[in-house]
Structure 1
Amino acid sequence: MNAFFRKRARPRLVGQGGDRLPGGPVSPGDRRQLPGPEERARPVAVGHARLRFMCLVLATLFAVVSWRLVDIMILAPETARGTANAAMARQMAEEPVRKRSDIVDRNGLVLATDLPTVNLFADTRGIPRPEIERAIAALPALFPELDPEKLRRDLYSQRAFVYIRHHLTPFEQKRVNDLGIPGLEFETAEKRVYPGGRALSHVVGTTNLDNRGSSGLENYFDRWLTTSDEPLVLSIDLRVQHITHRVLSESVKHFRAQGGSALVLDVATGEVMAMVSLPDFEPERNGSPADKERFNRATLGVYEMGSVFKVVNTAMALESGIPLGSYFDASAPLRIGGHSISDYKGKNRPLSIPEIMMYSSNIGSARMASRVGTTYQREFLRNLGLLEPVRIELPERGTPLVPNPWREISTLTVAFGHGLSITPLHLASAVSAVINGGVFIPPTLLKVQDRQAVQGTRVISERNSVIMRALMRLVVEAGSGKSAAVNGYYVGGKTGTADKQVGRGYARNSVLASFVAGFPMTAPRYVVLFTLDDPQPVQGTWGYRTAGWNAAPSTGRLIAEIAPLLGVAPSYFSPSGFFDESLIQEVGLKTLEPEGGPAR
C-alpha cells in the first residue's frame, strides 16, 4: 500500500554515461525521446472534433423526437388517434371472434347458434369527397334501414372508424365491394341466429350487436355460453313449444284477446316443456327491452289469477285438517268491513268442499280461508313459493304483490285469487305440487339428467294430493271445465276469470281468463296453464267471456295435440282403482267410467 501511494518519479533522460540530462538537445544515442508540440496537440484536437460531432448528432435526434411529440400531441391529435383506431380495427378484423355455445332443446335440436359474418365500417379519411356523395346515395339503396342524414354526418366526420352496418350476408358484402368505394372496409364477426324463431323468443332471448346476451337465457347464462364448449341443453321440447305457440296464437286471434301465455310443466321434475308469451318478437332483430312484445307474461307479469287459485286454497284447507265432508254457508254474500263477497251464479245454500270447487264458490272459499286463519295461510303460500320472486333461470322474473298489511279481508280475498298478484309460472308450479303427490319442486328451464335425483319440499300429504286430483277431475266432469275434456286423458282442472286491475280498482269490462289443468289425473304427469288477456265474446260463446268459454276449450285442444308427443297414451278403462272407494263417494265421482268407450 505504501508503494502505491508513494510519489512516482518522473522519467529520466539518460545519456551514454548514465548521467541525467536536465535539458538541451538529445543525443542520437538516447533510447527515448520527448514528443514535439504538434504531436502533443494532435490528440486533443481529434477529441474535440469527436465531441462536437456527437453533440450535433444528439441535438438532431432530440429535435426530431421533440418535433414528433409536438406533432402528435398538439398539431394533429385527431389524426394520430384515428390512425390508432384504424390499426385497431384492422387487427379486430383479422382476429377470430369468440363464438357462443349453442342452445339446444331436450332432444338436441338447435335453438340458437352462431354464424360467421362481417360488419361494414369506414375509414372516412380515405374516402374522396365525390366518393362520399356516391356512398351516401348507394348504401341506403342496399340497406334501406340506414338513415341518409346520419350516414352523411358519419362519412364527413373524418374519423378513422365508423360503423355503417352489422352482420352483412355474403351477397350484401359482394354488392358493397362492387361499389368500388375506397375507405369502405369489413371486419369479421359472429351473428346469433335462432332456428326456433318467434316461438322461443321470450325463453331463449336475444344478444346485442356485440353478441352478448341481452335477454332470456342468452342473458342469464351469458358468461357460461361464452366460456363453455358444450351446448346449453334446455328442458324445452321444441315440438311441444311450437304446438303451444300455434294454439295460443290461434286462441288470441279467435277471441280477440290483447295477448296471453301458456305453460306446460313436468310435475315430477319441474321441467318447463313449453313456455309461450304473446305478443312475441323476432329474436334476430335488436329492440328495446321496454317494447311490449318483449314482455314475458309467463314469468315477469304479475296478475290476480282469480278462481284458478282455489286449487291452492282448497289444498290448504284440507292440509290444515278441515275434513273433506265439511260444509260452508254460501246462502248469502259474505260482508266484512264494508266489503261484500258474492258468488257468480251462486247456489244460495251451504256447500261441501267438492261443491265449492265444482261451482267455484267465492263465499265458500273465503269461509274456508277464514277458518284456516291468516298465519297458516301465509305460511302455506310461502312454502309454495308464492310470496317470493319466481324461481327460474331467466332475468325476467316477477315479484308477487303481497298484501301489506295482511288484514282479515286480505285472507278472504286471496282465497279466491284476488288481493295477491303472482306470475302464471308461480301458479303452475304450485298446482304441480298439489297434484304430484304433494311435493313442491322449483321449475327449471334446464333438462334434468337424473329424474331420480330431483329433490323437493313436501307441502301437502299424499292423500290430500289424491283428493285434489279427484276434485279437479270433478270440475271437468261436472263443473265449469267441461269444455277442457279430452277423450282418454282424464283431464282435471279449474277455471278462473279475474277482473283486471286498473290503478287501485278494477276494470268494468276487462278480464284475465285462465284455465289450469293436469293430465292424466289418475297418475298426473303434466300441468298446463292457459291464460288469455281480455278475451272478447265471439260467435259460439253466447256473449260470455269467462274462462269456461275460451281458456278451457283452448287447453283441451292443446292437451289433445301434445299428449301423444309427450308419450302419454290414452286410457279407456275406469280409473276408479286409482281412488279410494270412500273418496269417490265422498267427492261425488260416482261415474268415473271409461271416456267415450273403446278406442277408435
Structure 2
Amino acid sequence: MTALASGSHRVRLASKRQHLTLTAQVRLVAVLALFALGVGAILLRLTFIGVFGEQAQAATRSALVDPGRGDIVDRNGVPLARTIDGYAIRVVPDRLIGDRRVLARKLAEIFPDTSEERFLKLLSRTKPTYLRHRAVPEEVNRVHALGEVGIEFPREKERFYPQLQLAAHVLGYVHPDGHGVSGMERAMDAELIDPKKRLTPSALSIDIRVQAALEDELGKGMKAYDAKAAAGIVLDVETGEVMAMTSLPSFNPNQFDADSIAFEANQVTYRFFELGSTFKPLTVAAAIDAGTVTSMARRYDASRPLKVAGFQIRDSHSSGRWLNVPETLVHSSNIVTAQIADELGPERLQAVMRKLHFDRQAEINLRERAKPLWPAQWGRLTNMTVGYGHGIAVTPLHLASAYAAMVNGGLYRPATLLKLNPADVPRGERVFKASTSARMNQLLRMIVRDGTGRKAEAPGFRVGGKTGSAEKPGAGGYRRSSVVATFAAAFPMDKPRYVVIVMIDEPSGNQASSFQRTAGWTAAPVVAKLVPRIGPMLGVIPDDRRDVDVSELMPLLWKAPGTKSDDPV
C-alpha cells in the first residue's frame, strides 16, 4: 500500500509540474504577443509621422491644446479680443432630482435677464441643453450651491474683449457657435478660426490710445449738446489706415444682449447722411482741377438768393455782397458754391464724385457697409445742390476718404482696418492734381483761422477743415429742428497726415453751444479738444513756428468794420 501511495504521489507531482510549465509557456507567449503589438504600434506611429510629417504633429498638438479663435490686437500689440477658457451651465434633465419649478425660480433669481418660465421650459426638455454660455465664476458658484446633480458646468472657449466697449463697432462680436457676427470678427472669421493662421494675432490698424481719446471726446460732446448720437473717424491720409473709428451710443461686446441691438449699427460705415457744407471744398477742388475756377480773386454774386427752376438757393447767413472763392468757403456760401457747380456742369462733377467712390459702398474690410444715396436724376438743380452737400447722402467714411484724397496730393486710397506694411500701401488713384491739393490745403486752413471753423483751432497743430450742418429729411421735406452737424478736418495742414471726421447727430442747441445747433458750435469744438490729445500719440508735435503759407490769399478776405465771421454754418 505504501508503494502504491508513493507512486500515486509521484504521478500527481509530475502532472502539477506539467501544468505549471504549460501555464508559464502560455504567459510567456502572451507577454511576447503584447510586446510585439507594442513594437508594432510604435513602428506604425513612426511610419505615420514619417509619411505625414508636420501635418500629423500639428494635428496632435491641436487635439491636445486647442487655442480656439485667434487673438486680435491693435497696431501696437495691445489685446483687443482674446479666447479664454470660460464656464457654461448645462442641464441634463433626466438626472434632475429636485422640483423643476422651484429650480426655475431660483435660476431666475440668479439670472434676472431670463424669466422663470423660460428656465422651466429649458429644464423640461428631454435632451441635455445649455442654460447659460459665458457664465461668470460668481454665477457658477451660486448655481452650484443649489446642489442639483442634474446641472453641469463644462468649460468652453469664450471670447473676451479686454477693452470692454472701446472699438466695439470695429471688433463686433462672436455668436455662441464660435463664428463672428459683425465687425472684424465677422470680416476675418475664416482667418481667425484657421488652425494655421490663428496662432498668430491679427493686427488691426487701430491705435487703442487714439480710439480711447476719440470715444471720450465724442462722448463728452454728445452729452454736452444733448445729441441723439455721434460718430467719428481718424484716418491716415498716406496709407488709408483707420487709426480710430467709433459710433455712439456703443455696446459692450462681452455682454451683447437685447438692449445692445439698438446700438449695433456702425454709423461711420453703415448709415448715410446728407453731410451739407463739407462737400463745398470738394466742389471747389473739382472746379479748380477742371479749369472753370482759374482765379481765387474772381467774385460771384451772393447778394440775393439764387433762383433755379422755381427753387431758391439761400445762404444761412447772407453776406449781401459778391464773394470770391476763399470768402465762399470761409463764409460757407451755398449761393456761390451752387454757381461754381453750375459752371462745372453735371458731367464733370459726377465724374469727380465717382472717382471718390460716392456712387458705391465705401471700401473697407467691414461687411457692414451702406451704399450711398445717389441722385436718380442729375439735372441742373440737383447738380447745384449736390455741390453744397444736399441731394446726395454718403457715410462719414466716404467723406473721410474723400478728404484724404483732397489733402494728400490728390490720391484716393481705400480705407483699411488692417495694419499695413510699407510695401503693402496702395499707390492710389489720381483724383485731383497735386497743385489743386496744395491750394485746397491753404483754403481749409483759412476756414479754421478766419471762418466758420474757428472753434476747431488747436494751437500748434495747424488744423484745417470745413463745417457742415444739414437738416435731416422727413415727411414733407427737411426738418429744421433736426440737424446733422459735421466737421471734416485735417492736420497738420503744412503737410497733412491725418483726417478727422466728427459728426454730431441732432444736437439740441443748448447753453453749451450758445444755443446753436450748427457744426461750428458743436462738432468743431470736439475737434479742437481731440487733436491735441491724439497728435503726440501719432507723432505730430505742436509747433507754433510752422504753418501753411496763406499770405497770398489773406488779402482776398474782406471784413466790414464791426462784423464777425464766427457764426458757423
> Into which bin does the TM-score normalised by the smaller protein fall?
0.7 to 0.9
Match of 1:416 in 2: 388
Say which of 489, 493, 501 aligns to 2:461: 489
Is 1:254–2:221 an aligned residue pair?
no
**Given that residues 387 and 402 in structure 1 are in contact (C-alpha distance below 8 angstroms), is that contact kept between their aligned partners in structure 2?**
yes
Amino acid paired to 1:372: L
Q: CA deviation at 1:123?
A: 1.6
Q: Which residue of 2 aligns with 1:188?
A: 155
Counterpart for residue 52 of structure 2: none
* Partner-residue secondary structure (3-state), 1:173: helix
1:230 is the counterpart of 2:200: yes
For 2:136, the equivalent position in structure 1 comes to 169
Structure 1 counterpart of 2:241, from 253, 271, 288 = 271
| Residue 516, structure 1, aligned to residue 483, structure 2 | no
Change (3 A) 1:171 1:510: closer
In the alignment, which of 314, 322, 332 is matched to residue 360 of structure 1?
Answer: 332
Name the counterpart of 1:8: none
Secondary structure of the equivalent of 1:454?
coil
Structure 1 residue 423: Cα displacement? 0.3
2:184 corresponds to which residue?
A: 217
Where 1:467 maps in the other structure, the secondary structure is helix
Q: How far is the alpha carbon of 1:131 from its aligned partner?
A: 4.2
- Is 1:313 aligned with 2:283? yes
Instruction: Give the secondary structure class of the aligned counterpart of 1:419.
Output: coil
For 2:71, the aligned partner's letter is D
Please list the CA deviations of residues 255-299 of structure 1 after superposition, one character each: whole Å capped at 9, or x if unmatched.
Answer: 000011111111101111111111111111233699331121111
Pairwise mapping of residues 471-482 of structure 1 onto structure 2 (< 5 A)?
A: 471-482=443-454
Letter in 2 for 1:256: D
Tell me the SS of whatever aligns to 2:145.
helix
Query: Structure 1 residue 238: deviation in Å?
Result: 0.3
On the 8 A contact 1:116/1:190 being kept in 2, the answer is yes
Q: Is 1:284 matched with 2:254?
A: yes
Q: Cα distance, 1:124 vs. partner?
A: 0.8
Q: Do the aligned partners of 1:473 and 1:492 also contact (CA within 8 Å) in 2?
A: yes
- Tell me which moved more, 514-523 or 339-348: 339-348
Contact 1:97/1:189, CA 8 A, preserved across alignment: no
Question: Within 5 A, what are the aligned runs for 1:127-146?
Answer: 127-128=96-97, 130-146=98-114
Is the contact made by 2:278 and 2:488 (CA closer than 8 Å) also made in structure 1?
yes
Cα distance, 1:338 vs. partner?
A: 1.4
Superposed, 1:310-459 pairs within 5 Å as 310-321=280-291, 322-325=293-296, 326-450=298-422, 453-459=425-431
Q: AA paired with 2:263? A: E
List per-residue Cα deviations over 1:370-390 (Å, max 9, x = no partner): 111101111110001111111
Aligned mates of 1:561, 1:154 — CA distance in 2: 51
In structure 1, the residue matched to 2:122 is 154
- Partner in structure 1 of residue 91 of structure 2: 122
Unaligned runs of 5+ in 1: 1-93, 590-600
User: Structure 1 residues 453 and 217 mapped into 2: Cα distance closer, same or farther (>3 Å)?
Assistant: closer
CA distance in 2, matches of 1:435, 1:586: 23
- Specify the SS of the correspondent of 1:192: strand
Query: What does the per-residue CA deviation read over 1:420-454, in whole Å, with 9 as the maximum and x for residues that have no partner?
Result: 00001100110110001111111111111116743
2: CA distance between counterparts of 1:481 and 1:396? 31
Residue from 155, 179, 182 that aligns with 2:146: 179
Alignment root-mean-square deviation, CA: 2.1
- Contact 2:327 2:557 (8 Å CA) reproduced: no
- Flag the 1:335–1:410 CA change in 2: closer, same or farther, 3 A: same
For structure 2, list consecutive stretches of 5 or more residues without a partner in the other structure: 1-62, 559-569
Structure 1 residue 253, shift from structure 2 partner: 0.3
Higher relative contact order (CA 8 A, sep 6+): 2
Conservation of the 8 A alpha-carbon contact between 1:97 and 1:190:
no
What secondary structure sits across from 1:569 in the alignment? coil
Is it true that 1:544 corresponds to 2:516 in the alignment?
yes
What amino acid maps onto 1:199 in structure 2?
A: L
Q: Deviations over 1:122-178 (max 9, x none)?
A: 1212223x3434422432233333321122233233x12122111223443344333
Which residue identity lines up with residue 573 of structure 1 in the other structure? R
* 1:296 counterpart = 2:266: yes
* Other-structure match for 1:207: 174
Q: Tell me, yes or no, if structure 1 residue 529 matches structure 2 residue 501.
A: yes
Cα gap change, 1:418 to 1:180, in 2 (>3 Å) = same
Of stretches 417-426 and 290-299 in structure 1, the one that deviates more from structure 2 is 290-299
Contact 1:251 1:554 in 2 (8 A): yes
Counting matched residue pairs gives 491
Q: What TM-score comes out, normalization by structure 2 length?
A: 0.82
- Tell me the CA shift for residue 179 of structure 1: 2.8
For 1:575 and 1:175, locate their aligned partners in 2 and report how far apart those are by CA, in whole Å.
63
- Contact (CA 8 Å) 2:67, 2:83: kept in 1 or not? no
Displacement of 1:488: 0.8
Give the secondary-structure state (helix, strand or coil) at the position aligned to 1:487.
coil
**1:322-364 deviations in Å (ceiling 9; x for gaps):** 2133322222211112111011212222221111111111011
Alpha-carbon distance in 1 for matches of 2:281, 2:369: 23
SS in 2 for 1:297: coil
* Counterpart-to-counterpart distance in 1, 2:303 and 2:318: 8
CA distance, structure 2, for counterparts of residue 237 and residue 505 of structure 1: 41
The equivalent of 1:30 in structure 2 is none
Aligned mates of 1:453, 1:272 — CA distance in 2:
13
Question: For the structure 1 residues 520 and 405, does the alpha-carbon distance in structure 2 shift closer, same or farther, using more than 3 Å as the test?
Answer: same
Q: Does 1:240 align with 2:206?
A: no
Structure 2 CA distance for partners of 1:451 and 1:355, relative to 1, 3 Å:
farther
Give the match for residue 71 of structure 1.
Answer: none
Q: State whether residues 97 and 188 of structure 1, in contact with CA within 8 Å, keep that contact through their aligned partners in structure 2.
A: no
Kept in 1, the 8 Å contact 2:224–2:512? The answer is no
In 2 relative to 1, CA 330–275 (structure 1 residues): closer, same or farther, beyond 3 Å? same
Range with greater deviation from structure 2 (462-471 or 178-187): 178-187
Provide the TM-score with structure 1 as the length reference. Answer: 0.78
What amino acid is aligned across from residue 235 of structure 2 in structure 1? L
Q: Which among 470, 474, 485 is matched to residue 442 of structure 2?
A: 470
Partners in 2 of 1:426 and 1:503 — Cα distance? 26
- Which has the higher Rg, Structure 1 or Structure 2? 1
Shift of 1:546: 1.2
Assess if the C-alpha contact under 8 Å between 2:286 and 2:352 holds in 1: yes
Per-residue deviation, 1:408 = 1.3
